[in-house]
């Protein structure tokens, strides 16, 4: 029986689902059950018996049995895998190792999917369109996977979550379950759901059996018979289901197709045979429907295709069409026909070239390349056939026309962000709201995304396809987008991107997301990237097995060498180094490789002075340039070999073919690039004499010609000579950023260079560069004054066809921001309409850098008056919109706070632009009543930021002043509260001009006193919402400043006291030890009768007196209380007296010293010392008086 059971299990083994790499735990349990049944599962947990020299017969039988069981077990495990996994694991030695390898790989991968299980459960939503029990079982399956991953969830939480996920129509049932007192298990919940669903199904059957209950269907409409004489007046129509049987007549049955709902004369079979019906939807497209699986009809009629047609599709959101999408289908109610961009969807396609176009919602057009049939299979399993679908390759989305579906009898219901499609009461499919439109839930045909596409056309285009494929093969199967760019520059014949993929590229190319870019070296041979790789260990015809690459980081030019073995890599580098250093004249400085041993020769690199950089272990990203080049090489070689049908042994020849012109590039383009950068015309001229075509070829990675490089580097003489060799078309060449050489010259500001180019080809002025910017606009953005003036003078007032109102406004705004007011004023005079729409320019004039516009002849002030005079003529609503300003044209100014950065008027007030405010109020006086978002007037903001000039305007506005003074903001702060608020901008912009914290505090107190004087007494002590009066708020916010003032005052006074004490000491000593000594008889000085001596005594005494007085004031300062009132008058006065008395004492001390010097040396140096003394006195007087 056991043998029979084993055979039976083996024969039924094919029914076990093959393991495809997913759901490993489920497959593992099934396989373990099978192996247990076969009695071979023990080999998965036991080791193989060791073979010995002296084995007994029993041990031999045991070892043979284990090996036989291991063979059976391993074979069943491998047979339970897919072919791809079988190929990977077929060489594993025993079953235990195979089982462990699978567990280590796929259980680890399952562990990483825990977060996806949680997301699946949380995001699961039940729908009314599917059986609830079926969806309940899906949730139980997800919870079962929780247990498999050892993820525990309390059963109460699971039950509550499942109840919340019930469909919206089960709302009452959910409330009933939630209000039950006893706790439910998942099994009990499933029983309740099953009973409830059964009862709902019975009620639905009853409603279908009794159609006349009084509840009409919602979406079906059937009209009653109407008397033609009355034309439907006064007759009520009843909304009924189309499928409901008619009480007044029998059900209509077609005698030809045996279907209900129509007669034989209306049968589609007859109409198709006569050619009266164009596939069920008319010439504009539609949809065919068949109840038996929605299969497409046989025989298609593509009549009237020779006449050019204009079709229409709508535009909901511009962001909807930003990204190409050939996989999904979208409902477009504004489209006149079905449209598809991908040929793979078509079952049949007839290519056309009759000039028919599709007109987009944004006024653009796209060519119609064909008409065909598309079958759409919904996720529900139903299929509809769309006929006369337009093939439009340039379209970004596949569109289904809602009008055509309606004409074909399909019912479309839009509700709750969901689209429901049905016909004659039969459900077909769903769609969901996404990006402003409804996306259909259709099955997407399996395909591999690849940018390499082919054109599939009729036989008359076969030669064109052959040419495209020939060039595609010649260029090493390069990306079609690059070929399309090359065709635009005339490097290859015209090339059109089709919609069918290149099979060779699909077979050989595998893409991966690139790593983040890094900064490249700017000089040649500063850094060399290198890597070694093999091509599946297949020898070439010359028995070469490896290839090594050397890539210059600056030019990205690559050298390729074929190797017999890896140890030749270093020798090839020496050959490469010798060649490039000799050709370019610069040494190799650094080599970057992986950690391969073929490059490890420290002694060599030390001897030649080359830095050898190696990557960190297991981080090929650090050598990404070489790794990516290896991938490109492999893709090109594989594509060339696959396309030509050659064996892999020709990979070496294919490699040399792809990179066979490196010497030519190195000898020509690299020296030309270097000469263009350095302006060496002699070298460049020698190259151009041999290769005249290089004047129009790109010489670096950015597709820049020599003219681009020289223009950017500012080599005017080089550009002048090069322009003589180029025609007008050559001058118009653009780099990869769409910039011409004139754009680069405009950005760098080389006017003479621009004159050379414009003289040669004036059309350059009207060719837009990067992001659609004109050269004039680029020069204005860069602030190049002379360049802007020259380009504007030659642009004929920006009146060309390439200039728009928006582009002119951008130039004007850029000129104002760059302070090119003379050009801006000229633009406004030439284009008066820009002054009317000058909101952005007005916002640019508002910041602090324009607040000094006081000169009547100032061009910026003239510009302001012209713009504001035109704006003031507009209606009040438009003026308010302009004053609110654009999004934030000056938000990058770090001096601006975020409160008022979106309002031009308050930005000017915040920055203290008094002239700007005066000009605006002069033409529009109502602005003084304007409030910002915080209900603050311009005077409140001026007080907050300490702008006295703007605040003083309050005294000139008359009686309106009283209403403004009484205003309070949303926090209850009046104008005096704003004096108490001390912001960082006030400290940095206003108080920094005042020397010392003491005077800063005094200035704040004076400001508080000034504002307090104009406020009514009732507001002076009124508290805000926070319960703070103005004085309390002032004390709180200025506490830190007062502390700094006290510290500064004590420190300064102490330093002055030291100087005063020294003067007192010196003066006292001089008074008792004067020249000449004393008269012993009288005790009087010997020189008492000398006038000079008497002057010495007087000045010395005065110095002593003033120094002592300054010490007295210093003591008074140190002993002060340092209250806010002291900083207003007392402390500043005392400090001024200390400085004044100390300066006077020093002056008298110097005079006394001079007189004493006179007494000693009489008349020898009298005049010299007198002049020095007077000079010192004059200096002290100028500094302190």
Q: Identify the pLDDT of residue 574.
A: 92
**Is pLDDT at 214 greater than 50 in this prediction?**
no
The answer to whether the beta carbons of residues 1012 and 976 sit under 8 Å apart is yes
Q: What is the mean pLDDT of residues 703-728?
A: 88
Q: Which residue has the higher pLDDT, 663 or 802?
A: 802
Span of 36-40, 323-327, 523-527, 808-812 with lowest mean pLDDT: 323-327
Highest mean pLDDT among 34-38, 371-375, 668-672, 965-969: 371-375
Greater confidence, 984 or 892? 984
> In the prediction, which pLDDT does 873 show?
74
Please report which helix (H) or strand (E) contains residue 661, including its range. Answer: none
Phi-psi region of 1148 (alpha: psi -120 to 50; beta: other; left: phi over 0): alpha
pLDDT band at 91 (very low <50, low <70, confident <90, very high): confident
Q: Reduce the DSSP state of residue 236 to 3 states and report it.
A: coil
- At residue 452's C-alpha, the angle toward residues 448 and 457, to 5°, is 100
| 552-566, 711-725, 783-797: range with lowest mean pLDDT | 783-797
For residue 364, what pLDDT band results from cuts at 50, 70 and 90? confident
Would you state the pLDDT for residue 1048?
84
pLDDT tens per residue across span 675-715: 888 888 888 888 888 777 788 887 877 788 889 898 888 88
**What confidence category does residue 258 fall into, taking pLDDT thresholds of 50, 70 and 90?**
low
- Residue 1161's pLDDT band (cuts 50, 70, 90): low
* pLDDT of 196 over the 50 cut: yes
Tokens of 417: 């962000």
> Which pairing describes strands 286-288 and 418-423: parallel, antiparallel, or unpaired?
unpaired
* Residue 496 scores a pLDDT above 70: no
Task: Flag the least confident range among 459-473, 823-837, 861-875, 1044-1058.
Answer: 459-473
pLDDT at 698: 78
Q: Is the pLDDT of residue 898 over 50?
A: no
- Report pLDDT for 464: 47
Interatomic CA distance for residues 498 and 1130, integer angstroms: 89
pLDDT of residue 269: 57
- CA 68, 74, 77, 78 dihedral sign is negative
**Span 857-878, average pLDDT:** 72
The Cα–Cα gap between 706 and 725 comes to: 12
Q: What is the pLDDT of residue 1162?
A: 60
Max mean pLDDT among 145-154, 737-746, 812-821, 961-970 falls in 737-746
Range from 45-54, 450-459, 460-469, 980-989 carrying the lowest mean pLDDT: 450-459
* 99 pLDDT above the threshold of 80: yes
Question: How far, in Å, CA of 178 to CA of 156, rounded?
Answer: 11
Element (H, E) at 778: helix 775-782
Running DSSP on this structure, what letter comes out for residue 376? Answer: E
CB 370 within 8 A of CB 351: yes
Quick one: pLDDT band at residue 1163, thresholds 50, 70, 90? low
The pLDDT assigned to 737 comes to: 85
Between residues 664 and 827, which one has the greater pLDDT?
827
Of 964, 961, 953, nearest to 930 (Cα)? 964
Model confidence at 370, pLDDT cuts 50, 70, 90, reads very high
Q: Which two three-digit tokens encode residue 749?
A: 């500001």
Instruction: Choose the most confident range, by mean pLDDT, from 86-100, 652-666, 982-996.
Output: 86-100
988-998 pLDDT, tens per residue? 566 666 777 77
pLDDT at 843: 66
Q: What angle do CA 699, 700, 706 make, to 5 degrees?
A: 45
Share of the chain above pLDDT 70, in %: 73
Going by their DSSP bridges, the two strands 418-423 and 426-434 should be labelled as antiparallel
Q: Residue 286: what are its φ and ψ, rounded to 5°?
A: 175, -155
User: Looking at residue 293, what is its pLDDT?
Assistant: 35
Checking if the pLDDT of 292 tops 50, the result is no
Lookup: tokens for 425:
């009461």
User: In this model, does residue 1033 exceed pLDDT 80?
Assistant: yes
Question: In this predicted structure, what is the pLDDT of residue 275?
Answer: 42
* Mean pLDDT within 742-768: 86
Residue 1170: per-residue pLDDT: 60
Q: What is the mean pLDDT of the chain?
A: 75
CA distance readout (Å), 388 to 307, 310, 411: 14, 14, 20
pLDDT confidence band for 659 (50 / 70 / 90): low
Predicted confidence (pLDDT) at residue 234 exceeds the cutoff of 80: no
Q: What is the mean pLDDT of residues 26-42?
A: 86
Q: What pLDDT, in 10s, does the model give residues 826-840?
A: 777 777 777 666 556
- Is 213 or 273 the better-scoring residue by pLDDT? 273
**Between 816 and 627, the higher pLDDT residue:** 627
Which residues, listed in sequence order, are joined to residue 339 by a DSSP beta bridge?
390, 399
The pLDDT assigned to 372 comes to 94
pLDDT at position 390 over 90: yes
Q: What letter does residue 440 receive in the DSSP assignment? A: E
* CA 717 vs CA 539, 709, 754: distances in Å: 54, 13, 12
pLDDT, tens digit (0-9, with 9 covering 90-100), for 164-179: 888 888 888 888 887 7
Q: At what angle do helices 914-923 and 859-871 cross, to 10 degrees?
A: 30
For residue 1062, is pLDDT > 70?
A: yes
Does the pLDDT value for residue 228 go beyond 50?
no
What average pLDDT score do residues 618-631 get?
83
Biggest CA pair distance of the chain: 164
pLDDT of 1064 higher than 90: no
Please tell me which of 484-498, 559-573, 985-999, 1090-1104 the model is most confident about, judged by mean pLDDT. Answer: 559-573
Query: What DSSP designation does 801 have?
Result: T
Is the pLDDT assigned to residue 854 strictly greater than 60? Answer: no
Q: Are 965 and 975 in contact (CB under 8 A)?
A: yes
Q: Please check the confidence at residue 235 and state whether its pLDDT lies above 60.
A: no
């Amino acid at each position: 029986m056991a043998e029979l059971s084993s055979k039976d299990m083996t024969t039924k083994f094919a029914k076990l689902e093959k393991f495809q790499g997913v759901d490993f735990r489920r497959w593992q349990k099934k396989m373990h059950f099978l192996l247990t049944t076969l009695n071979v599962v023990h080999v998965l947990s036991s080791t193989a018996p060791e073979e010995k020299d002296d084995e007994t017969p029993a041990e031999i039988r045991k070892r043979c049995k284990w090996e036989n069981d291991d063979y059976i077990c391993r074979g069943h495990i491998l047979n339970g895998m897919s072919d791809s996994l079988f190929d990977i694991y077929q060489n594993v030695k025993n079953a235990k190792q195979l089982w462990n390898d699978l567990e280590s790989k796929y259980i680890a991968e399952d562990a990483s999917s825990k977060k996806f299980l949680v997301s699946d459960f949380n995001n699961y939503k039940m729908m009314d369109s599917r059986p609830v029990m079926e969806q309940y079982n899906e949730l139980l399956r997800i919870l079962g996977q929780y247990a498999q991953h050892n993820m525990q969830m309390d059963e109460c939480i699971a039950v509550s979550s499942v109840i919340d996920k019930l469909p919206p129509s089960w709302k009452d049932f959910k409330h009933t379950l939630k209000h039950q007192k006893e706790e439910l298990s998942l099994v009990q919940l499933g029983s309740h759901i099953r009973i409830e669903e059964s009862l709902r199904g019975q009620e639905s059957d009853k409603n279908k059996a009794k159609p006349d209950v009084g509840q009409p269907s919602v979406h079906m409409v059937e009209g009653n018979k109407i008397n033609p004489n009355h034309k439907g007046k006064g007759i009520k129509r009843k909304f009924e289901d189309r499928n409901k049987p008619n009480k007044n007549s029998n059900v209509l049955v077609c005698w030809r197709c045996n279907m209900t709902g129509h007669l034989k004369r209306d049968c589609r079979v007859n109409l198709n045979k006569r050619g009266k019906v164009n596939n069920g939807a008319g010439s504009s497209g539609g949809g065919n429907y068949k109840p038996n699986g929605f299969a497409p009809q046989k025989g298609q009629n593509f009549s009237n295709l020779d006449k050019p047609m204009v079709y229409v599709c709508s535009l909901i959101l511009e962001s909807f069409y930003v990204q190409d999408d050939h996989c999904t289908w979208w409902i477009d109610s504004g489209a006149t026909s079905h449209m598809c961009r991908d040929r793979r969807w078509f079952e049949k396609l007839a290519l056309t070239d009759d000039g028919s176009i599709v007109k987009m919602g944004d006024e653009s057009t796209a060519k119609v390349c064909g008409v065909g049939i598309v079958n759409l299979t919904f996720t529900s399993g139903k299929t509809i056939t769309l006929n006369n679908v337009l093939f439009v390759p340039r379209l970004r989305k596949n569109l289904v026309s809602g009008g055509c579906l309606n004409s074909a009898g399909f019912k479309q219901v839009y509700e709750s962000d969901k689209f429901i499609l049905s016909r004659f009461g039969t459900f077909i499919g769903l769609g969901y709201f996404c990006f402003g439109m409804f996306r259909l839930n259709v099955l997407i045909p399996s395909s591999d995304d690849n940018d390499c596409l082919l054109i599939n056309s009729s036989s008359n285009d076969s030669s064109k396809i052959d040419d495209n494929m020939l060039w595609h093969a010649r260029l090493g199967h390069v990306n079609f987008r690059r070929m399309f760019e090359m065709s635009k520059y005339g490097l290859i014949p015209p090339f059109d991107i089709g919609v069918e993929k290149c099979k060779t590229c699909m077979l050989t190319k595998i893409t991966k997301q690139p790593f983040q870019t890094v900064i490249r070296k700017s000089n040649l041979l500063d850094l060399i990237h290198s890597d070694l790789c093999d091509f599946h260990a297949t020898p070439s015809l010359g028995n070469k097995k490896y290839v090594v690459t050397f890539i210059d980081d600056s030019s990205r030019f690559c050298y390729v060498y074929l190797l017999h073995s890896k140890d030749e890599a270093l020798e090839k580098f020496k050959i490469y180094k010798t060649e490039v250093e000799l050709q370019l004249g610069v040494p190799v400085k650094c080599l970057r490789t992986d950690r391969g041993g073929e490059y490890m020769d420290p002694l060599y690199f030390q001897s030649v002075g080359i830095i050898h950089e190696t990557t960190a272990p297991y981080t090929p990203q650090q050598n990404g340039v070489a790794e990516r080049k290896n991938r490109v090489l492999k893709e090109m070689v594989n594509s060339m070999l696959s396309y030509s049908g050659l064996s892999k042994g020709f990979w070496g020849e294919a490699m040399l073919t792809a990179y066979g012109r490196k010497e030519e590039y190195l000898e020509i383009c690299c020296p030309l690039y270097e000469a263009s950068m350095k302006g060496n015309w002699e070298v460049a001229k020698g190259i151009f004499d041999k290769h005249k075509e290089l004047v129009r070829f790109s010489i670096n990675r950015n597709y820049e010609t020599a003219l681009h490089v020289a223009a950017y580097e500012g080599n005017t003489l080089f550009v002048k000579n090069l322009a003589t060799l180029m025609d007008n078309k050559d001058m118009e060449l653009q780099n990869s950023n769409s910039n011409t050489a004139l754009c680069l010259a405009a950005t760098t500001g080389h006017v003479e260079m621009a004159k050379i180019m414009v003289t040669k080809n004036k059309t350059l002025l009207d060719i837009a560069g990067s992001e659609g910017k004109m050269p004039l606009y680029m020069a204005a953005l860069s602030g190049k004054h002379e360049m802007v003036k020259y380009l504007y003078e030659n642009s004929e007032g920006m009146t060309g066809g390439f200039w728009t109102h928006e582009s002119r406004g951008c130039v004007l705004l850029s000129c104002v921001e760059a302070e090119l007011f003379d050009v801006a004023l000229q633009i406004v005079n030439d284009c008066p309409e820009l002054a009317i729409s000058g909101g952005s320019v007005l916002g640019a004039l508002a910041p602090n850098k324009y607040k000094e516009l006081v000169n009547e002849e100032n061009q910026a002030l003239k510009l302001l008056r012209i713009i504001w005079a035109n704006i003031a003529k507009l209606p009040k609503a438009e003026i308010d919109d302009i004053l609110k300003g654009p999004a934030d044209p000056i938000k990058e100014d770090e001096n601006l706070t975020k409160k008022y950065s979106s309002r031009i008027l308050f930005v000017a007030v915040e920055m203290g632009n008094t002239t700007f405010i005066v000009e605006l109020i002069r033409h529009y006086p109502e602005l003084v009543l304007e409030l910002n978002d915080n209900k603050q007037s311009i005077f409140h903001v001026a007080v907050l930021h300490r702008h006295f000039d703007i605040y003083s305007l309050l005294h000139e506005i008359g009686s309106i002043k009283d209403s403004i003074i009484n205003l309070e903001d949303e926090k209850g702060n009046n104008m005096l509260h704003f004096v108490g608020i001390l912001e960082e901008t006030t400290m940095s912009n206003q108080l920094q001009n005042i020397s010392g914290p003491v005077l800063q505090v005094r200035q704040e107190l004076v400001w508080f006193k000034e504002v307090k004087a104009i406020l009514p007494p009732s507001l002076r002590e009124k508290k805000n919402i926070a319960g703070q009066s103005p004085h309390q708020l002032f004390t709180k916010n200025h506490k830190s400043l007062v502390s700094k003032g006290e510290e500064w005052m004590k420190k300064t006074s102490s330093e002055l006291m030291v100087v005063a004490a020294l003067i007192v000491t010196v003066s006292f000593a001089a008074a008792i030890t004067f020249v000449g000594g004393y008269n012993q008889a009288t005790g009087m000085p010997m020189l008492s009768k000398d006038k000079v001596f008497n002057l010495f005594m007087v000045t010395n005494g005065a110095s002593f007196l003033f120094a002592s007085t300054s010490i007295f004031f210093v003591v008074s300062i140190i002993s002060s209380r340092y209250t806010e009132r002291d900083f207003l008058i007392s402390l500043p006065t005392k400090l001024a007296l200390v400085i004044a008395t100390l300066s006077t004492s020093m002056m008298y001390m110097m005079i006394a010293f001079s007189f004493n010097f006179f007494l000693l040396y009489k008349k020898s140096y009298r005049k010299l010392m007198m002049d020095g003394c007077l000079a010192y006195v004059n200096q002290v007087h100028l500094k302190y008086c």
